[in-house]
Structure 1
């Protein structure tokens, strides 16, 4: 077998690229027999103490027998993982299965290189090893640890598992179940956030930058990048790298390669032809560079040959431990005075501020930055991801969670690779600061060339629902993004939807009031229309009265100054009044747009607050409505993650494994299997009995007892404008008559698949479903049965895991939801019972990615509960982008 050939049974799916605690990149993969020399070298480089802590003996050298035993595993009962960083083996983790009274157990052991300790390698390997163990049916890990091995004990104790320990004969015995818990998941997510945040922080705060591809001639991308860095006032060291043979450029020495630079380099900005980028990466890694920004075009956006170059770029960068922005990137900026990094194609550094911007589009990047500058909006960071082969919007959002300078975030997304992870990160970020997203629909037509995106099978409404669930403000274009940004950056977030309107134009006042009504805001004060020649004092009194009104949450003003000098006085009056009020204020002020000094006031603590100005009231009120909805989302108690009682995950897993063992490609569950699986999650499905004749229907009805229901279960019947059900059948004659009537209608449609079921309490029929989407992962759906769902598409969507508020929002999101309040003699439906069913379906779908689809086809909601009258489940091999182990995937 060749050194690089995979051994039999090698599980390639276990391979993963990971970000470590310090922001560096490493690879986790199963061990191979060919790793023997690397393992021996790893062992030889360990200190005597580390060797003793691992083997409980001063094992100076591993024997050939030891090497063979460690590197030859079956990937089932004996599993071993290695971590590779910059080509070196730096850590090993393994388990060996044992027999145990409480199910399969496995003994685990870890060994981390001395030079790599403290970077979170052990924690990452434990996550991956536990996930592999869970998939293989292992229930518990056990380990023997020497008392002085505090680091390894910390890896186990800090992972969020319930660890038990005992002491015997000088050794601490640890044991813990490896089933994922809320605490272990919280630990994993928090570690992921810290690592990815640190990775981006290192990218945006380098102490030194090398620009590769600096040409002698002005106007080239490399020369422009170098000039922008120098003239932008970058506070670190800047180096020029070029093969042009120039000795100096702009009084800076020119180096032939990054390796020739005598000092360390933390960031490289690459602007060379696409075919040369690979060699530049090797050069950068050899000099210890940690991150690169690839401005170069000519990758996947130009066709198959470029796509191959882009794939090789990613593989090389991950193998070398580099983070990559791009390719085809516009660059990155950090405006903070202590950094002043303009590693971009923008000629001028935008003003410093607190708005973080992320853009996938390089072509639109200059327009985005120009728009921010034109409006006077200060930027903290700007990242253009280009083809986003590595660093993504998810990574940058992780950074902004921790960044105190950034108080609001705007993202221009052309595609999304991991919506499930985006939802998780965006929700956490939006709980702290406003998030605004420009994104078109999720169809394949909106995906630019060069972006790696899996096809989605869900509707565009699902994406909009996902953003709303995460508290994200979605807008249609960059103009609207900055309309909201200039409000949320410079004004308090509205606490309610009550608005006061004050101005000196009847027309603008009426227009503002109409816009408020259209956008769901309540005009509770005014419109107050002052005379056209009203003085600054009159304006101050009117605006102050609006701010002081306890029934007002936000103030909208519109002013057309009769003279320039009068306008300045009114603007200052408005700025001071808004500063003292603590309530948000927007204005339409003739001749002013954006954020200006004229509408700014400074508080006693030195902070500056500005009233944002809009060309027309409609623009400002649309932004105010978005900020108001965001404020209501942020202030709302979203409740705890749903966690229904009476769930048996283990039994459900066993059923799923049993079915897939017999049908590896998946299949629909039988009626009995469906009832069993759903029953393990506390969902009772009423039995129904197939019948093939009127006589058989009568016999079944008499066995069940009257009244009964006769209905078609053919999927075709649900899409046709015909009645496919007969209810409240009280005797044999009624059953025969119903069978004949249904047969007459449904036989021509080939929808004559009938069942008999006992009659349920009259109520409202609903559908609760979930499907595993290739892009979104599990997507829970809810709607009312019949025309609202099948004809009008009135369906609500949410992505698990759900909180209590998510479930209630999902029920209320459909337009037909008021029918649940009762009508035509029916009392209100039991929404609590309905919410419990949705919660159980969401947890079931979230727990088991093998569930390709779950559908409770007929949920009868009535005053006393919610009965599941029909259900179907389809299994398929699992694939989910956001797994239960840290790995670098295709992100937003």
Structure 2
């Protein structure tokens, strides 16, 4: 049995999945884990380092030293009815939290935070983790006794988003609160996570001091190049060069032999040393108190098993010492803001300063992206290359960009996805403030670059695309489209609708633009206005003013061919001047101008943003970008409502039933029909009963039990996959039932598909299929389709819980066959409210119960008067830890030993 640093073995029931790396309020990384018996010396030391006041506030008595009995009680728990967590920062114990069950649903909790770590959010993080564990163990309510003068601990409870009740009892504040997640508690957790992770990224992107380790005398060396790029870019902070083998001055900077010799604190260390030397340099950086690391060295997980081992060791060391890291195998970091001027990258020139933030997992692609942006004249706020994304990922950078006023739009090039649930949650918050544009070709393991180990997925790219739409993210096909959209949304207003005007002096360009607009679901309501090829600036101005002034126009598409250099420049300036004061976006195809130019610049807006009309090589390119911006505008203008939370849900009963099943079948199994009905009933869903029958007489007996009219049908899996008639409906008397049973039995017996059941006859309606599944990559996924041909042809919609009211509506409308639900040829539309309520209940079940590996309502009959669930199947299995499990934690990328 492995040891944990003392003579006591690891407890056999030690819950490893409760361990987590977390980001504190100051941006540093700490570790939360269950307490262990070998923590007794650390607990005693922690206690003795506390002030007399802190000891009194925790124990209500001046305990100078904990007794051996107390130490044993504190450190020996059963991880069920008695749970304790500790937090460590840079190897030192800085916080303790625990609960002890009082009865089957209530537990008393207590917290203790190191005096030297007060104000870093430790109590809040520990409460989140303790509450999440409590929910897993069936705890419903926490109680705590707090002295009135202990205001910090009182605020930990009252500010957590729970409904806290309290009363005074013998000089003590007695608190109690239910620990179930609410919208308020989730909002508090999300906001705290965002602030902490944004602070940790700020040390990477806006450091006050940078040290480059590995600065060689050789001009072609990587470290030398990055150091010179920092110097040439005009980095505004303190800059240090480090090389153990060279001590000559470089670019008027002293070269230090090691980071230990540096004269001042360092926010960011750039490691340009061989992979085998990185670990020792990291330890030196930790001793110096470096906040963040950028590792440009290759030779890690992308290089094979030995590299993967080095990468796992690197992540462990970095996090244990409280740091964040970008890379390894990173192209670098760039921040163009005048007060920072950071070019810690392979790019020889600092990009133009602007408002588009770019994140790329690919280093090679980073070069192409920067070059393409430069050719367009498109300015950037930041550029981040994650490399192997051992730690910092696109999720972390998006957290930083949420509140960053310098970044007006975000572009992401993703080669793999490590935590889609967290991505979706963060991207939605970011999209509510600014456009997010993503290039991602697929969500499978195909094409995943070396060094990027990802979870497998069973739902494929369709679910990934749905997740992006759900979060308001614009998905494009390539980097060129990303920059096409980026230069539009950064420099022009977001469209308020899909109605466009087309104006230009080329009939061919106008026709191309109009056709492209119609093909992109834009409506041409003004024009095309075909101006003469030699139109004067005044003539162009009148036509353009008319287009912008038209109240039915939301966006203006223009195209001009230059018949002379002087005329072209004049018309370009006219176009920019006319477009500038309007709150409608404008795009152009101006032959001879591509991207952003001074001629098409109309000055600055009231918020200081440069307003430029972007020019595209062909009208189709501009229209694709405009359609994407229009899609984003429609998403942002839509009220998505609150997270769905239907009434009448008994989650405790559902969890208890699943617990009984897994206790008897630890590996999981399909549920029996009565178990499926019990599970769904706990979430307010009634399944119509079916009675299995094997003879005519049994069928008649079943019909008498259910009452006529009835249906006899096969429930064999074969009939779901094959076009076999397997149902006889509207059977109103015994003879009809006997004939139907005999016909089906004779037809299906040769196929071994004669698993027949009798069920009551539902109202005429439209059959639909609803399903949920616990995907290894995405977590819970809800799907919806119309039964029959639409499902077979792949017309299936997906959404990732938790769902807001608008997400439920969008899921129904996302399938191509949705118009059938709205009423056709005079028929009444189905009861949308009933269908959306059912989807909401299924989504909450999927979110709450990861043990439900699959659940399918394979016969949902919807009609104008409601719906009936005619059939359901489910399978339960032990749940793996979700990537975004409802408590703040940094993920462990699969390349580093995670899942």
Same topology, TM > 0.5: yes
1:37-72: CA deviation from partner (whole Å, max 9, x where unpaired): 222221222122111211222222223333222222
Residues 422 and 891 of structure 1 are in contact (CA less than 8 Å); yes or no, is this contact kept in structure 2? no
Residues 762 and 826 of structure 1 are in contact (CA less than 8 Å); yes or no, is this contact kept in structure 2? no
Q: Which residue of 2 aligns with 1:854?
A: 855
1:505 equivalent to 2:506? Answer: yes
Q: Distance in 2 between matches of 1:603 and 1:783?
A: 48
1:790-812: CA deviation from partner (whole Å, max 9, x where unpaired): x2011000111111111111111
1:755-774 alignment to 2 at 5 Å?
755-774=757-776
1:695-723: CA deviation from partner (whole Å, max 9, x where unpaired): 32222223322221111111221000111
1:411-560 alignment to 2 at 5 Å?
411-560=412-561
1:410-453: CA deviation from partner (whole Å, max 9, x where unpaired): 00000001111111111111011000000011121121111131
Q: Which residue of 1 aligns with 2:335?
A: 334
TM-score (structure 2 length as normaliser):
0.97
> Matched residue of 1:520: which SS?
coil
> Matched residue of 2:293: which SS?
strand
Q: Distance in 1 between matches of 2:693 and 2:673?
A: 14
> Matched residue of 1:580: which SS?
coil
Q: Distance in 1 between matches of 2:368 and 2:750?
A: 59
Residues 225 and 344 of structure 1 are in contact (CA less than 8 Å); yes or no, is this contact kept in structure 2? yes
Residues 436 and 481 of structure 1 are in contact (CA less than 8 Å); yes or no, is this contact kept in structure 2? yes
> Matched residue of 2:446: which SS?
helix
Residues 452 and 890 of structure 1 are in contact (CA less than 8 Å); yes or no, is this contact kept in structure 2? no
Q: 1:686 to 1:607 in 2, by over 3 A?
A: closer
Residues 419 and 891 of structure 1 are in contact (CA less than 8 Å); yes or no, is this contact kept in structure 2? no
Q: Distance in 1 between matches of 2:89 and 2:146?
A: 26
> Matched residue of 2:417: which SS?
coil
Q: Which residue of 2 aligns with 1:66?
A: 70
Q: Distance in 1 between matches of 2:724 and 2:11?
A: 59
1:436-472: CA deviation from partner (whole Å, max 9, x where unpaired): 0000111211211111311001131111111111111
> Matched residue of 1:802: which SS?
coil
Q: Which residue of 1 aligns with 2:739?
A: 737
- Candidates 15, 20, 45, aligned match of 1:16: 20
What's the CA shift for 1:195?
A: 0.9
1:713-862 alignment to 2 at 5 Å?
713-789=715-791, 791-823=792-824, 826-862=827-863
Residues 416 and 891 of structure 1 are in contact (CA less than 8 Å); yes or no, is this contact kept in structure 2? no
- Candidates 871, 875, 886, aligned match of 2:888: 886
Q: 1:210 to 1:519 in 2, by over 3 A?
A: same
1:162-182: CA deviation from partner (whole Å, max 9, x where unpaired): 112121222211111212222
Q: Which residue of 2 aligns with 1:343?
A: 344
Residues 855 and 875 of structure 2 are in contact (CA less than 8 Å); yes or no, is this contact kept in structure 1? yes
1:641 equivalent to 2:643? Answer: yes
What's the CA shift for 1:228?
A: 0.7
- Candidates 53, 70, 73, aligned match of 2:57: 53
Q: Distance in 2 between matches of 1:629 and 1:604?
A: 24
Residues 504 and 559 of structure 2 are in contact (CA less than 8 Å); yes or no, is this contact kept in structure 1? yes
What's the CA shift for 1:30?
A: 1.0
| Structure 1, gaps ≥5 residues long | none
Residues 216 and 244 of structure 1 are in contact (CA less than 8 Å); yes or no, is this contact kept in structure 2? no
Q: Which residue of 2 aligns with 1:674?
A: 676
> Matched residue of 2:54: which SS?
helix
Q: Distance in 2 between matches of 1:585 and 1:2?
A: 67
Q: 1:770 to 1:57 in 2, by over 3 A?
A: same
What's the CA shift for 1:824?
A: 7.1
Q: Distance in 1 between matches of 2:494 and 2:523?
A: 16
1:78 equivalent to 2:82? Answer: yes
1:91 equivalent to 2:92? Answer: no
> Matched residue of 2:815: which SS?
coil
Answer with 177-186 or 678-687: which moved more. 177-186
Q: 1:3 to 1:365 in 2, by over 3 A?
A: same
> Matched residue of 1:556: which SS?
strand
What's the CA shift for 1:541?
A: 0.4
Q: Which residue of 1 aligns with 2:897?
A: none
TM-score (structure 1 length as normaliser):
0.98
Q: Which residue of 1 aligns with 2:397?
A: 396
Residues 474 and 632 of structure 2 are in contact (CA less than 8 Å); yes or no, is this contact kept in structure 1? yes
Residues 605 and 611 of structure 2 are in contact (CA less than 8 Å); yes or no, is this contact kept in structure 1? no
Residues 453 and 893 of structure 2 are in contact (CA less than 8 Å); yes or no, is this contact kept in structure 1? no
What's the CA shift for 1:604?
A: 7.4
Residues 591 and 617 of structure 2 are in contact (CA less than 8 Å); yes or no, is this contact kept in structure 1? yes
Answer with 820-829 or 670-679: which moved more. 820-829
> Matched residue of 1:679: which SS?
helix
1:611-622 alignment to 2 at 5 Å?
611-622=613-624
Q: Which runs of 4+ in 1 moved over 4 A?
A: 603-607, 823-826
What's the CA shift for 1:482?
A: 0.4
1:630 equivalent to 2:632? Answer: yes
> Matched residue of 2:47: which SS?
helix
Residues 216 and 246 of structure 2 are in contact (CA less than 8 Å); yes or no, is this contact kept in structure 1? no
What's the CA shift for 1:242?
A: 0.9
What's the CA shift for 1:731?
A: 2.2
> Matched residue of 1:249: which SS?
coil
Q: Distance in 2 between matches of 1:163 and 1:831?
A: 37
Q: Which residue of 2 aligns with 1:352?
A: 353
Residues 390 and 893 of structure 2 are in contact (CA less than 8 Å); yes or no, is this contact kept in structure 1? no
1:463-515: CA deviation from partner (whole Å, max 9, x where unpaired): 11111111110001000000000100000000011110110111111111110
Q: Which residue of 2 aligns with 1:298?
A: 299
Counting matched residue pairs gives 888
- Coordinate RMSD, CA, aligned: 1.4
What's the CA shift for 1:77?
A: 2.3
Answer with 871-880 or 622-631: which moved more. 871-880
Q: Distance in 2 between matches of 1:180 and 1:603?
A: 45
| Structure 2, gaps ≥5 residues long | 895-899
Answer with 43-52 or 766-775: which moved more. 43-52
Residues 453 and 890 of structure 1 are in contact (CA less than 8 Å); yes or no, is this contact kept in structure 2? no
Q: Which residue of 2 aligns with 1:221?
A: 222
Q: Distance in 1 between matches of 2:481 and 2:849?
A: 39
1:310-389 alignment to 2 at 5 Å?
310-389=311-390
